Structure 1
Amino acid sequence: MVGGMNRPDGEARPLLNGVRQWVKVAGAAHGTVPLVVLHGGPGGNHFVFERVAGPGLEAARTVVYHEQRGSGRSDPPEPADAYSMPLLTADLRSLLDWLGAEQADLLGYSFGGGLALEFARACPERVRRLVLQAPALHLRDPEVTASQLAGFAEVAQGDVAARVQAILREALSPEEQLERVWGVVDTPTVDRFLFQRADVAARNRALWAESGLTNSGAMHRVLAAQPPTGTSQHLTEITAPTLILAGRHDRNVPLAQLERLAAALPAGQLHVFGSSAHFPDLEEPDGYVQAILAFLT
């Protein structure tokens, strides 16, 4: 067993908590505590991350990519609505057992950051350090909803801007407004919402197309209907050293919320990328990798 782990480099689809899930190990020769990467979405995948920020991390660390049940290259669960934060944390615990790792560092981006916090609260003995990139603590956070509505109003142009403003004037709840807005925005608007640089947004789109992977939306629909787990009210229980990564221009998860999160965690710290929106791993990959490696070592 090397570095607390007994799996070599390569892809696998082990049975984790009753569901066959995609896992990739890279950099096993380094023999470090595994850095397990948790994607966003919910229901996303690691295809883009593997090709942009991933190689820089793999050059120094043992990196484990895991695509959650029903996501990317992993199988959907049976029954089809078998999604919950306790199930996802149980899947992650099963992954560490399969790896032969007593402990891991977790790198979660967006929804994956919220999942990393859930796991650290449920299984603190299995977590050494946490890296959370714009973590989403739950899917119906009023502050996040307000930030996203304001963000779309900021970046929408022309006819799309008119449709967005019309929705914002309707007598709907903010959640209903946001759902309607997502239904009318086009690809250029979404790219301006998520990114500061048009060339990076275009590269992201090209890699998405190359992957051939899609998000069914099933996990999001199920989790959005469930109440928050309460982890946000118990942050003082999460004592693992934690690095929060934020893009200064993130319209998806507001910087003010991430500042409060870093302050609330007993061992939290914040790193802000000045030229990024929601994806500093794509817009500032070199600085992103350097910040993570410096924190983990």
Structure 2
Amino acid sequence: MLLHGLGTSTFTFRELGPILGKTRKVVAIDLNGFGLTERPEASDAYSLAGQAAMVCGVLDELGIREADWVGHSYSGYLSMRIARDSPERVRRLVLVSPALRMEVAPDSFIRSRVLREAVYPGLRLILDDKRRFRALLEPAYHRKEVLTDDVLETYRQQLRIEGLHDAYRGFGASLDDLSRDRVEIAEIDMPVRVIAGRHDAIIPLQALKTSLAESKGRVELRVLESSGHSAPEEQPEALAVEISDFLDRR
């Protein structure tokens, strides 16, 4: 099971998925509000519980009760939440550049719908301008050549579809849930491997190491030397090796 991060989609796994698919069944799902998945009006759909229910519901439809989960960035945290609350669904867990500490936003932003609405026009301005959108995405990439004009435009158009405002409102309403219900890596009672990019500017490697210290060696950490935050796109082959090594050995 491959789950993407915020602002992206299953397009993130366009190279990683086929590589892993040579030796195992691979499922990738766009979360509520992203990619080709609808933008529900109900804000509950964008909470961690709502996203987890949607993803597990898809697995139920496919007849899959248990899977190995690979969560990237935000979905690293989402996968941890699922592993904690529904451990019967998760056999082994791979977290790629995971957001282990969800420092979501200032309290004033979390608790004020008026303030969040005031920010929305600025978001639209970024999405409507290719130059501004590139500036937003570039920090997630160490290898800038990976973020081609075609890749950039795919992500931009997937975000600009009908229902964007509903998704924005839904995620805004879910911020309080993110800030209150913390998931700690020490709570996860199953094999876990964390894979990080040496040059990650979004979740720096040292910050990740600090967060993992509480696991007392139970969680394996691997570092991709030529990657930033977007390892599935920057080093898909190397990432596939790390994932397959962990799953095969475990």
Smaller-chain TM-score bracket:
0.7 to 0.9
Q: Name the SS for the 1:63 alignment partner.
A: coil
Higher normalized helix content (fraction of residues): 2
Q: Name the SS for the 1:59 alignment partner.
A: coil
Q: Give the RMSD, CA atoms, in angstroms.
A: 2.9
Aligned counterpart for 2:231 among listed residues 268, 273, 280: 280
Q: Name the SS for the 2:9 alignment partner.
A: coil
Uncovered stretches (5+) of structure 1, i.e. residues with no partner: 1-35, 143-175
Deviations 1:218-253 (A, max 9, x none): 254333344231213xx3321111111111111101
Map 1:163-242 to 2 at 5 A: 186-187=132-133, 189-190=135-136, 192-202=138-148, 205-210=149-154, 212-214=157-159, 216=164, 218=168, 219-226=170-177, 227-232=179-184, 235-242=185-192
Q: Equivalent residue for 2:200?
A: 250
Map 1:1-297 to 2 at 5 A: 36-41=1-6, 43-49=7-13, 51-80=14-43, 82-137=45-100, 139-140=102-103, 186-187=132-133, 189-190=135-136, 192-202=138-148, 205-210=149-154, 212-214=157-159, 216=164, 218=168, 219-226=170-177, 227-232=179-184, 235-265=185-215, 267-297=218-248
How many Å separate the matches in 2 of 1:186 and 1:288?
29
How many Å separate the matches in 1 of 2:60 and 2:189?
22
Letter of the 1:195 counterpart: Y
Letter of the 2:63 counterpart: G
Do the aligned partners of 2:45 and 2:51 also contact (CA within 8 Å) in 1? no
How many Å separate the matches in 1 of 2:235 and 2:31?
26
Q: Name the SS for the 2:226 alignment partner.
A: coil
Uncovered stretches (5+) of structure 2, i.e. residues with no partner: 106-118
* Higher RCO (CA-CA < 8 Å; seq separation 6+): 2
Do the aligned partners of 2:104 and 2:175 also contact (CA within 8 Å) in 1? no
TM-score by length of 1: 0.65
Letter of the 2:4 counterpart: H
How many Å separate the matches in 1 of 2:137 and 2:53?
34
Letter of the 2:146 counterpart: V
Quote how far apart the aligned CAs of 1:138 are. Answer: 5.4
Q: Name the SS for the 2:239 alignment partner.
A: helix
Quote how far apart the aligned CAs of 1:80 are. Answer: 5.0
Do the aligned partners of 1:40 and 1:112 also contact (CA within 8 Å) in 2? yes
130 and 189 in structure 1: CA distance in 2 versus 1, 3 angstrom threshold: same
Aligned length: 220
Identify which range, 185-194 or 109-118, moves more after superposition: 185-194
How many Å separate the matches in 1 of 2:46 and 2:234?
31
How many Å separate the matches in 2 of 1:210 and 1:262?
34
How many Å separate the matches in 2 of 1:209 and 1:240?
38
Letter of the 2:158 counterpart: L
Quote how far apart the aligned CAs of 1:137 are. Answer: 3.7
How many Å separate the matches in 1 of 2:235 and 2:45?
36
Quote how far apart the aligned CAs of 1:188 are. Answer: 5.5
Q: Higher Cα Rg: structure 1 or 2?
A: 1
Letter of the 1:136 counterpart: A
Q: Name the SS for the 1:47 alignment partner.
A: helix
